[in-house]
Amino acid sequence: MQLIPAIDLKDGHCVRLKQGDMAQSTIFGEDPAAMAQTWLNKGARRLHLVDLNGAFAGKPQNFAAIKSILKAVGDDIPVQLGGGIRDLDTIERYIDAGLAYVIIGTAAVKNPGFLKDACSAFGGHIIVGLDAKDGKVATDGWSKLTGHEVIDLAKKFEDWGVESIIYTDIGRDGMLSGINIEATVKLAQALSIPVIASGGLSNMADIEKLCAVESEGIQGVICGRAIYSGDLDFALAQTRADELGA
């Protein structure tokens, strides 16, 4: 089980939001590259970046900070990024800069032709982020709830060749209220590609619960507020996950 630290970027700073609300942001660091190095030193095997400004603007807004992170971690671990990725040129630019995976969220739902083209042009590099509430997919920085069922969309995207699915329960994100294990397992069981859990990770008990269902197809979990607030010790949690997965 990979524990994947999240670095959310807003105006070049590392922040955390509550339930995707840009007005409720807490700055956790002024130097994104140093933050990335911190998690690398604590044993992270992958990093999850979010360009928050980009997600709302629909185009990259924190490219300088992202490049500084990629330079800091080098070839040591893969880095994935979401937020404002709406065209093939942007994907190419990021992959050329050293990004391992791009995460397509809103655009995958609203412009499926783009996702199909991205999978065709950049096979092995495309992850879809599905944000959901009560099994229905949300878009546009979580501000709009669609009528799409998560599992139906995920199956379609799997057929197109996406690498994996990041599943976020937006009712729990940033709230330290626990991962929605049941919904995550249900999605993983319906797919043959890996699922990465996200939203609400709060403590070691969550890690242990996820490890217990890892064999259902859950590859990892994105760690956000809990590892910044101190509710979860990242290094200890990754060690524990390794023990349970052995």
Exactly one of 11, 21, 31, 131 is catalytic; name it.
Answer: 131
3-state secondary structure of 82: strand
- The answer to whether 131 is a known catalytic residue is yes
Task: Please indicate whether residue 8 is annotated as part of the active site.
Answer: yes
The one catalytic residue among 8, 51, 169, 206: 8
Please tell me the distance from the alpha carbon of residue 162 to that of residue 151, in angstroms, as a whole number. 14
69 vs 50: CA distance, rounded Å: 12
| C-beta of residue 223 within 8 angstroms of C-beta of residue 234 | yes
Cα 82 to the chain's mean position, in Å?
7
Helices (H), the chain: 32-41, 52-57, 63-73, 88-97, 106-110, 112-121, 150-160, 181-190, 204-212, 225-229, 234-245
Secondary structure (H, E, C), 126-190: EEEEEEEECCEEEECCCCEEEEEEHHHHHHHHHHHCCCEEEEEECCCCCCCCCCCHHHHHHHHHH
Catalytic positions are 8, 131
